[in-house]
Structure 1
Amino acid sequence: MYIKETSDIKEFVDFQYRLLKKNPNFIGDLKSAAEFLLSDAHPFWETAEKKLFLAISNDQIVGRIAGILNHKYNEFQRENTAFFGFFDCINDTEVASLLFAAAEKWAVEKKCNKIVGPANPSSNYSFGLLVENFDEPNVIMMPYNPPYYIELIEGNGYVKEKDLYAFKWVYDKELFRRLAPVVERINKSNKSIRIETVDIKNLSKAFEDVKAVYNKAWENNWGFVPMTDGEIEQMAREIKPILKKEYVFFARDGEKPVAFCLMLGDMNIALKKLTGRITPFNVLPFLYNYFFKIKSGRLLALGVNKEYRGRGIEVMMILEAIKNAKKLGWDWGELSWTLEDNFKINKTIEKFGGKVYKKYRLYSKVI
């Protein structure tokens, strides 16, 4: 058995699908999207670098890992931290140890003193290891892994750095009736604030407004790294084909955007039929599921500018999200992710019926 560096992104990506294809709860992205994310053409790598490693046994790939150095993160957080990501492995402690040793050696060579992960490749993308609830599929843009990954990571000296929560929300009419007086008071105290859905025909303006809120609203969060203009523009290109006006909305004070929310229908329900690539044999089941079977979604970003917090605008945004989810015919939604110690937002979500149903973990190790 040995570790090799690779620049073959296709074989690096394919391994995850081969390893997990029999797991009924694993849903992967389109392989073309996964390959592009790891290619130098993706704007993330304009301010970051990577090294891809494969574990080989009997001429077969049995594991993979990426070492990641995010220069923008270290500059923003004033750290010398490396990340590991895109970790997948057979259930073998020796294979895992060799993979982590390779990533750590590379990180040390880059003069880092700590390694954190899994980050695929940062907190703005797929982030964390699933550690609770392996019996439900991952929703759009969230990771999935088998339970044994926990032992493989912790067995190599990694300890918990931070947990992330995913909430499940199911509409409860009676709960909203009881909360009506609270909602009325919040609306009266924010008369200058209006909620505005995105203009699908003018997405460039919408994502300018996203830029104006996103980096400012999240700048004090643990693990945060600002997205570059190129990353935000790439995100806009990727979600544009599936975007509906109900998915993106802003809170405005006059014309100034002070909060925004991004929701997406759970495309994973349709992607499940593809196993990574569209073929003549799976395109019809994919289209059927896409048009008729998506009855849930994910609220993946909700941010309020610091100077507007504490006024209940978060509540106004959550209510708008719920209203839009009902309009879209969703039976339930996932709100993810939040930091375990973001007590205020977690309490707000719980007040409106959300319950933590999955947990993800970031691990760290001093090197």
Structure 2
Amino acid sequence: MSSDIVIHPVTNKSQRKSFVELAYRLYKNDPHWVPPLKSETYALLNPKKNPFFEHAKVQLFLAEKDGLPVGRISAHIDYLALEQPVEQGLGPGTGNWGLLEAEDEATASRLIDTAEKWLKEEGMDRIIAPMSLSVWDEPGLLTTGQDHSPTVMMGHHKAEYQGWIESRGYNNVKELVTYHLPIQDGLPPLIDRIVKSGERNGKLKLRKVDKSHFDRDAKIIMNILNDAWSDNWGFVPLTDHEIDHVGVKLKPIVYENLIMIAELEGKPVAFMMTLPDLNDRTKDMNGSLLPFNWVKLLWWLKFPKSPTMRVPLMGVVKELQNSRLASQMAFMMIEYIRREAVAKYGATRGEIGWILDDNKGMVAIADAIESKINRVYTLYEKAI
């Protein structure tokens, strides 16, 4: 009975540990779940380590039954999101919840009710969810693609969660999609011709990221990103501290020949970031680097081999968007990185995304290289 469920705000280390550990029990028999490194999850929830907390208010809730954890949820308000235009999806009065995990529908319902009550008491009148925690982390609920494991920094959720959430009056507001692409045999002939045409443009230069100047190139990429995505649905600008934090977090899995910056007459105007799929290496570690998993991970980071490459981020400055040059630069970066990924990392497939389902430019690029949607993450909204 739902009346036996007790919901506690997380206020101490013991409850925080139960909050984190719950997912490892609920998914232990799911062959497609990739246990995140627990250190990463604790860091995500730590106000001293995650700069998201500098512009957000977060409350975690833990559900218990007979003294045992049976569910969890976060409720949070991103004050930078409240400043965004309403027509871009967020804006004034919009709060979020996320990190939902539950043993059963009754528990999920109680947790969602609790998050809604907290957000309403904080002055919110609308919810976009799930958001775990920021739009830059793992937004959306996996609604298509539970039959294969997610790539690095992507979420995985139980199929029944969709019905549980929708039964609480939540409506689909946006879909985020990822595209699967076999990469061993190259891109379609039309793309090859576009790439060769771009190579004849003397004003255009594509270069690899330089790890000896990592901080410089990381800031270039993030500044392009803030400009390129600024009109996108759900956009919230990254702060300077968040840009620095992302750089530190990604540096261990950054490889110079997998990230490119395009320069037009010497000015950075576009980038493409590709990451080898760390999940291939960590899937069997059950979230822990002890006792010897840290050695395996360090070795892999030094000599990475991965059948899968993920493209989490691409961007072209706004002034060039919707131009032929924008798509040409995208195809050139995709092809150059594809060659490196196959030859030096043993990659056989790529995954691009997430991409907003109505981002016509990126959808057109994905279609042109003959990639196919393999995962869909759904964001829901509800008035409260």
Q: TM-score, normalised by structure 1?
A: 0.94
- Does the aligned pair in 2 maintain the 1:163–1:359 contact within 8 Å? yes
Do 1:170 and 1:353's aligned partners in 2 also have CA atoms closer than 8 Å?
Answer: no
Aligned equivalents of 1:191, 1:23: Cα separation in 2: 52
Q: Which residue of 2 aligns with 1:331?
A: 348
Instruction: Summarize the Cα distance change of 1:288–1:209 in structure 2 as closer, same or farther, 3 Å threshold.
Output: closer
Aligned to 1:137: 149
Match of 1:265 in 2: 276
Which digits, 9 at most, give the CA deviation of each residue in 1:295-337, with x for residues without a partner? 2120000000011221232222322332332233211111010
Tell me, yes or no, if the aligned pair for 1:84 and 1:118 is still in contact at 8 Å. Answer: yes
Q: Verify the 8 A CA contact 1:269 1:289 in the aligned structure 2.
A: no
C-alpha spacing 1:235/1:11, structure 2 compared with 1 (3 Å): same
One-letter amino acid of the counterpart of residue 85, structure 1 = G
CA contact (8 A) 1:172 1:353 kept: no
2:178 and 2:376 in contact (8 A); partners too? yes
Aligned to 2:94: 81
CA–CA separation in structure 2 for the residues paired with 1:179 and 1:287 = 37
Q: Distance in 2 between matches of 1:138 and 1:208?
A: 27
Whichever residue aligns with residue 224 of structure 1, its letter is: F
Match of 1:40 among 25, 47, 53: 47
Aligned twin of 2:34: 27
8 Å CA contact retained: 1:269, 1:293: no
Read off the aligned partner of 1:256 and give its amino acid letter. Answer: K
Task: Report the secondary structure of 2:275's partner residue.
Answer: strand
Quote the residue 2:139 is aligned against.
Answer: 127
Secondary structure of residue in 2 paired with 1:272: helix
Amino acid at match of 1:65: I
**Structure 1 unaligned regions, length at least 5:** none
CA–CA distance in structure 2, aligned partners of residues 2 and 179 of structure 1? 57
Deviates more, 1:332-341 or 1:254-263: 254-263
Residues 318/293 of structure 1: CA separation in 2 closer, same or farther (3 Å cut): closer
- The alpha carbon displacement at 1:149 in A equals 0.8
**Cα separation, partners in 2 of 1:180 and 1:264, compared to 1, 3 Å:** closer
In structure 1, the partner of 2:333 is: 317
Q: Distance in 2 between matches of 1:282 and 1:212?
A: 35
Mapped to 1, the partners of 2:71 and 2:96 lie a distance apart of: 17
Unaligned runs of 5+ in 2: 86-90
Amino acid in the other structure paired with 2:182? V
Counterpart code for 1:38:
L
Distance 1:251 1:365, change over 3 A: same
Query: Would the aligned equivalents of 1:194 and 1:252 in 2 still touch at CA under 8 Å?
Result: yes
Cα distance, 1:176 vs structure 2: 3.1
The TM-score normalised by the length of structure 2 is: 0.90
Equivalent residue, structure 1, for 2:367: 350
Tell me which residue corresponds to 2:88.
Answer: none
- In structure 2, the partner of 1:229 is 240
Answering whether residue 24 of structure 2 is matched by residue 6 of structure 1, we say no
Query: 101-110 vs 326-335, which deviates more?
Result: 326-335
> Residue 68 of structure 1 aligns to which amino acid in structure 2?
H
Q: Would you say the 8 A contact 2:10–2:62 is kept in 1?
A: yes
Within 1, Cα distance between the matches of 2:119 and 2:112?
10
Taking only aligned residues, the RMSD between alpha carbons, in angstroms, comes to 1.8
| Bigger shift: residues 293-302 or 266-275 | 293-302
Distance 1:295 1:220, change over 3 A: same
Number of matched pairs: 365
Out of 334, 358, 361, the residue aligned to residue 341 of structure 1 is 358
Identical aligned residues as a percent = 31
